[in-house]
Amino acid sequence: MHRRLKLFLMMLVGLFLAVPVLPQSSVTLAQPGAQQQKDVDVQWGVKIPMRDGVLLNATVYRPHQQNGPLPVIFVLTPYIASPGHDRGMYFARNGYVFFLVDVRGRGNSEGKFEPFTEGPDGYDIVEWLARQSWSDGKVAMWGTSYEGFDQWSTASQLPPHLVTIVPAAAGHAGISMPMFNNTFDSYWIQWVMTTTGVMSNQGLDEDRSFWSGKYRELYLKHLPFQELDSLAGNPSPIIQKWLEHPTPDSYYDGMVPNAEQYKRIQIPILSITGDYDRAQSGALTHYRRHMKYGTAEAIGKHYLVIGPWDHGGNTAPLAAFEGLTFGPASLLDMNKLHKEWYDWTMKGGPKPEFLKKRVAYYVAGAEQWKYADSLEDISETTTTLYLHSDGSAIDVFRSGSIGQQGPAEEPVDKYVYDPLDVRPEQLERGEVSRNSWMFQSLSATDQSRALNLFGNGVIYHSAPFVEDTEVTGFLKFTVWMAIDVPDTDFQVFLYDILPDGTSIVLTSDQMRARYRESLTQEKLIRPGEINRYDFQSFTFFSRRITKGSRLRLLLLSPNSIYKEKNYNSGGVVARESGEDARTAHVTVYHDSEHPSKLELPIAK
């Protein structure tokens, strides 16, 4: 018995010795058969100490047999490091050390994940990286969405060795996440579950049928929005904490740079967002506040790129998505742009040729990039279009109009929003759209929504354009309305209607009536009182409206599986249910005393 065991152990030792052994936490990778590709050394499980003793986990990519210190780029991510592998390989092959760092409480990092609190950790990472022997002391950041938020959060701490940041689709707490204009989206319950615990949870995150099913169940049962996390199987203290703060108050203010911090951020910055980026409001809030509070020197080093992209397109642009198509020029090589930016700011190379001025934006329809010194310099004039109708603006076939003729004495338009009406759910039976956060979807339901308002909404069309016209910038829409309930929600869409009838969504905005005067202070409606509603947070867009095309303006009260439903009672919206439902009768005015109008930014 002992002899046979001895022989067995000797065989195991022999097998072990026959296998080449690599260092425990590193390996050299190269692309097979690609002579022009350079080898990369990858090291797993590098631990970075934080000031409180917590160790964050990192995966490191370095040029093979690195000769001398190099600049370092890092990503601070709640999405687990592995999806960034290709990025790490790219930058290591191009002369940088690249770190993928899991935020605390995610992946193999210690601690507990608390969203929107990474600023101090970002500072500690920067300074630790700068001290390492393979680092030349220059540190930069990379990342999209929440990772973009972490770049601003880190920069606000002013780490001495942070040379530049490139925030793409950067979120802004209280502005674009976890709500927009004080209305929560169902997506955020999905996001919290995706970032719960140490695992990636990728399979659950990508199961769109699961999520649309849960959103639909809450919707059809008329349950309070605050129960969605439990319904999805993840009762979340984070979600419940957010719902206790439905306005951008001091709770969120403490998570983002303040005016003094924006003023002190002096490093070069490249901000990136898209026309259909669901986080555009966050990215542009950071940009505008830096423009407002930053020094003249800092403003001169802040560049902005706005492409015809959705959220994911800020990292990997697509020429077609959600029924929209764009020209080849829209496919900006993001790796190349980032590399050229880092080469310029960290290695003394030339400024990226693409950045001809401080603002670059893509004009859809014309399918070309244009440039300006600032966002304010883009628009040359504003065209004002006033609402008109004969009292029947109820669908695309019996719509009102928008035109330059001034307001006249005209009958009002009316629509009804019944929170218990679930017929709109029939239009949203598909999977959760990639853009459902902002638009509910771009193609599959937009046309059907306009054709199937179910009495909830009004529509206005412009006359056909007599010549090609570039509309670029931010819309403003002022509308006078009266409602017979203490509160309700409104949503506005603008479309380009091509001569063949094709509908292309351009931009959108939304408002909760109680916040019509201020996002930080509610003021409930006196039923029957006529109030002015100023929609001024439309997303930026740029499109050449072709001769013969028309604009379509759609105003409705959102009734969607993708949004926190307002049951119109005037109470805490997240706690409202079908038992609180009140039907809103909405009256839209457009006369000389109540000049409802749309202001279009016309580009130079």
Question: Residue 46 maps to which CATH number?
Answer: 3.40.50.1820
| pLDDT of 445 higher than 90 | no
* CA dist 118 → 47, 101, 581 (Å): 17, 12, 40
Position 6 in a domain: no
Pairing of strands 379-388, 400-403: antiparallel
265/298 Cα distance (integer angstroms): 7
Task: Please say whether the beta carbons of 69 and 136 come within 8 A.
Answer: yes
Same domain (yes/no): 367, 305: yes
Instruction: Give the domain-ending residue among 209, 243, 277.
Output: 243
Task: Please say whether the beta carbons of 163 and 138 come within 8 A.
Answer: yes
Same domain (yes/no): 104, 188: no
pLDDT in tens, 319-373: 998 889 999 999 999 999 999 999 999 999 999 999 999 999 999 999 999 999 9
The DSSP line for 43-87 is: EEEEEEE-TTS-EEEEEEEEETT--S-EEEEEEEESS-SGGGHHH
For 360, phi and psi rounded to 5 degrees? -115, 130
Quick one: DSSP state of residue 464? P
393/415 Cα distance (integer angstroms): 9
| pLDDT of 308 higher than 90 | yes
Instruction: Give the domain-ending residue among 317, 347, 377.
Output: 377
Same domain (yes/no): 143, 187: no
Lowest mean pLDDT among 20-29, 81-90, 390-399: 20-29
Position 13 in a domain: no
Same domain (yes/no): 35, 172: yes
CATH, residue 526: 2.60.120.260
Same domain (yes/no): 96, 227: no
309/88 Cα distance (integer angstroms): 23
Position 10 in a domain: no
Same domain (yes/no): 217, 298: no
Which run of H or of E encompasses 215?
helix 208-221
Same domain (yes/no): 31, 169: yes
Lowest mean pLDDT among 51-65, 189-203, 486-500: 189-203
Same domain (yes/no): 279, 371: yes
Same domain (yes/no): 273, 334: yes
Task: Please say whether the beta carbons of 311 and 278 come within 8 A.
Answer: yes
Same domain (yes/no): 218, 358: no
What pLDDT is attached to residue 69?
A: 98
Position 31 in a domain: yes
Indicate the number of domains in the chain.
3
SS3 203: helix
Position 1 in a domain: no
158/164 Cα distance (integer angstroms): 11
Task: Please say whether the beta carbons of 98 and 58 come within 8 A.
Answer: no
Helices 280-293/146-155 angle, 10° precision: 20
Same domain (yes/no): 73, 216: no
| pLDDT of 437 higher than 90 | no
What pLDDT is attached to residue 381?
A: 95
Residue 50's CB is within 10 A of a number of other CB atoms, namely 18
Position 548 in a domain: yes
Task: Please say whether the beta carbons of 538 and 527 come within 8 A.
Answer: no
Quick one: DSSP state of residue 63? E
Give residue for tokens 């019944």: 418
Reported pTM: 0.91
92/98 Cα distance (integer angstroms): 6
pLDDT in tens, 200-214: 888 998 899 999 999
Average the pLDDT over 422-438 and give the result: 61
CA 113 to chain centre: 21
Instruction: Give the domain-ending residue among 243, 277, 295.
Output: 243
Q: Which of 192, 119, 108, 105 lies closest to 150 in space, CA to CA?
A: 119
Same domain (yes/no): 589, 546: yes
Which residues constitute the domain of residue 191? 182-243
